[in-house]
Amino acid sequence: MNSTLMNSRNMNLKKLKGRHLPFIFLFICMMSVVGTRASAQERVLGADLSLLPAYEAAGTDYYPQNGGKVIPDVLGYVKTEAGMNAVRLRLFVAPDGTDPSVCQTLGYVKDMGKRIKDAGMLFLLDFHYSDTWADPSSQTIPASWYDLNEIGDLDNLTDWTVEQKVYNYTKDCLNELVSYGATPDFVQIGNEISYGMLWRKDYDKVYPKLAQGDCGWQWERLGKFLNAGAKAVREVTPDAKIIIHTERVAEEDATENFYTYLDNLEVDYDIIGLSYYPFYHGSLQQLSTTLKRLQQVMPQRKVHIVETAYNYAYYPTDAVYDLQDTWSATVAGQQQYVEDLTAELWRHSNVTGLYWWFAEENGNGKNKTVLGSWLNRGLWNNSTHRALPALGKMQDFLNVPTLVMDVKGKKKKKQPVDVFDTTGRKVRKGGSGIYVGGGASFIIR
């Protein structure tokens, strides 16, 4: 191309850019909004409702926030009122009946799982691989998986035997669920396995705080068990996403180490699952630090907050962090927690899932047949049986954040210092109109 043609082309481009800059800017903003909406559509919002059938069997009534008639279908209610599109259910191998909240047998989960699927919702299946609660303090091998009369001591239970049990049990459960019309969309292999799973004794634990060079046979053992479960998931429910769940948000280095170990061991999974309870794991700033670390070191991994909750009464006596100055243990404090949490999660593109744990908490059930004592962190009030305001605010996780201001009255949200109007001009304080800035759209009215 000769110099005359080149100069002519550059001049035309300058004219085009100058004349159409506002429209180009508006187009870019529109495309940004479209992209944000697309990501919002990919988001999963749900609740762990593992005790809902037990509450229903005990005759417990659920009411809307403002009272009125009994809610006939709680699943339908959380779907319409909170925008939830998923439900999480835990599964135990053979509960012994001593804890009424540990009642989720395969038959129980099949029935509830089919209800979830029939409601058009996504189903997250949480394998505990235990007869009781599996968490950082307890990862007990199911009693039916060994015979002490044969092996004499748990020390003699081989890893190969446990590995085969994980594979066969996972495969059998999934086959039954699929046949029943309760195919999971997400499968969680283990529950809060920050220190490993299926311990014979304490020596089986893994310690994610240790340096990478200290990865030993305990990690290899864990990797074999996780891959055994993953193999069954891929075979029976190939479309399901596999989640590996930990609860070390308070220690970003431990969280990074854990999932780095899994990658080094070539563990097959799709999504990082985290528990985040502020009273155990710290402030939203700490959560943000951990999420940013995961985004940096594992950009290919999406993250689901598979458990969160906050009290609307009686701050936990076993709390590690006192955050009552940020969120009081009140109805309003719980609602504010949801608003602040969802706003924070919108700042992290790697987070695509959020679940409220034990959202269905609603008293003890008749003669304490459902719950021995209240936790006071569900989304219904244990005393009035009415939905709490935080339930409706959960849908903020699905909605593109929009900050609204009333220039004549009190500011509802703070406007960023630098925002732009739809012509592309940088403004500090605009009149009525639509503005873009700080990763969100703004309406000034």
In terms of C-beta density within 10 A (0-12 exposed, 13-18 middle, 19 or more buried), how is residue 424 classed? middle
Backbone region of residue 98 per phi and psi (left: phi > 0; alpha: psi in -120 to 50; beta: other values): alpha
Strand pairing category for 426-427 and 433-437: unpaired
Please report the sign of the dihedral spanned by the C-alpha atoms of residue 225, residue 226, residue 230, residue 231: negative
Token code pair at residue 150: 């044969």
Give residues with Cβ within 8 angstroms of 198, minimum separation 6.
129, 130, 139, 141, 162, 166, 204, 225
The residues annotated with a catalytic role in the active site are 192, 307
Alpha helices (runs of H) in 42-144, residue ranges in sequence order = 52-57, 74-81, 106-118
Residue 443 burial (CB count, 10 A): 13
Nearest to 127 by CA among 53, 237, 34: 237
Q: Read off the amino acid at residue 137.
A: S
Amino acid present at 188: Q
Residue type, 12: N
* Nearest by Cα to 194 from 255, 128, 241: 255
Q: Whose structure tokens read 């809307």?
A: 64
Give the span between the Cα atoms of 437 and 430, in whole angstroms: 12
